[in-house]
Amino acid sequence: MTIVVEQEIKNTQTMIATQFADYKHLAYRLYAVFMHQGSVEFGHYYIYIYDFKKNVWRKYNDSEITEVQNPAEIFENQGRVNPPTPYFLVYVNAAMKDRLVEPVCREIFEAVPNEAEPRLESSAAIYDGPSTDATTMDVDTDPPSYEEARTGGEPAGTNIKPNPVVSG
């Protein structure tokens, strides 16, 4: 009986040690960095989002959208007294990034200016991707399942290794 228990313990230890071995080879890419600048009591939040198609970071800060010219702006302190702090990072599966993410696309419509009102220009017009209309959704309503994302599209169960059976 002791031999059976010891073998079961070894089998369980092997299973635990190798259970997530497949996950060590998944490549992920940084997609977004949420930033906070200020203190615990107050501050300002904004986000950097990476556009994989154009190979550029953009800063979305309230109503202003700008392309990041130097990534050090995001990733380095630059000697500031109260630097912005990244507090939430978003990574996506590199093999599925084109299916999982797409830059926010909003078509900018300028109203015919009224002579009495000043005309406002939007910096959001830097995105030159596909146009949208009222029938186009901003969000992929058919994202991959967890199993597809985990296995890179392989059918469920193809990368699962059976545990050895121990008989008493």
- CA dist., res. 61 & res. 63, Å (int): 6
CA distances from 87 to 29, 36, 52, 94 (A): 17, 7, 22, 22
Nearest to 38 by CA among 78, 87, 88: 87
CA distances from 146 to 1, 20, 93, 150, 155 (A): 40, 15, 11, 6, 12
pLDDT recorded at residue 22: 73
pLDDT recorded at residue 145: 66
- Taking only the tens place, the pLDDT of each residue in 2-13 is 888 999 999 998
- CA dist., res. 24 & res. 35, Å (int): 28
Helix, coil or strand: residue 58: strand
- More confident position, 20 or 142: 20
Q: Which tokens in the block code for residue 27? A: 């490549």
Please list, residue by residue across 116-135, b when 16 or more beta carbons sit within 10 angstroms of its beta carbon and e when fewer do: eeeeeeeebeebeeeeeeee
- Taking only the tens place, the pLDDT of each residue in 11-23 is 998 888 888 777 7
- Taking only the tens place, the pLDDT of each residue in 74-98 is 988 777 788 888 989 999 988 888 8
- CA dist., res. 77 & res. 32, Å (int): 18
> pTM for this structure?
0.51
Beta-carbon count within 10 A of 40 CB: 6
Nearest to 62 by CA among 113, 20, 119, 122: 122
Q: Which tokens in the block code for residue 167? A: 């008989």
67 pLDDT above the threshold of 80: yes
Q: Which tokens in the block code for residue 72? A: 């050090």
CA distances from 82 to 100, 148, 160 (A): 34, 42, 49
